[in-house]
Amino acid sequence: MSERASTSLDISPEIVSPEVVWIVCEDGSRWVETVRCFCLGGATNSVRVSVRIADEDEVLGLVNSLLRRPKRTVFVVWEMTPKTLAVKCRAITTLALTAPQILQIAAVTAIPMRYRSILSEFGATLQIRQPEEMQAIALRLNEQVLPGLARLR
């Protein structure tokens, strides 16, 4: 086993920087660019913020692996379309049951209003219709979540 692999498997909690990971599950790039634009800024130097892209069948495994390390906060943005609504609602529910501390945001631009009301019942914490709405969410999270993480360092 290489020295690098050995080091990555044995990480002491004292040397791990607080980290926020945004996972974006979408077909295009609209929401990942939105997260990069509004959510990467505003973090203090002591908190690392990153963005990962995943398919709905990869999100649960990725979240579980990310949460194994201490001092890590994960947010998930789901792009909801009529075509993917059922599959993503199932993924949102599974994630809500296995990792209830995760903030899940449903991007509902293409979803008819009659279906939007059920998303919170499946486990989506917030719904956004336009990318600009992410700016207010990012500001609130930067004010409320990131200072607490910075104190963990």
**46 vs 33: CA distance, rounded Å:** 23
Rounded CA separation 90/124 (Å): 11
**CATH of the domain spanning 16-148, picked from 1.10.630.10, 3.40.50.300, 3.20.20.70, 3.40.50.2300:** 3.40.50.2300
The pLDDT tens digits for 104-124 are 999 999 888 888 888 888 999
Please tell me the pTM assigned to this model: 0.81
Residue range 50-87, pLDDT digits in tens? 999 999 999 999 999 999 988 888 999 999 999 999 99
Boundaries of every domain in the chain: 16-148
Q: How many residues does the chain have?
A: 153
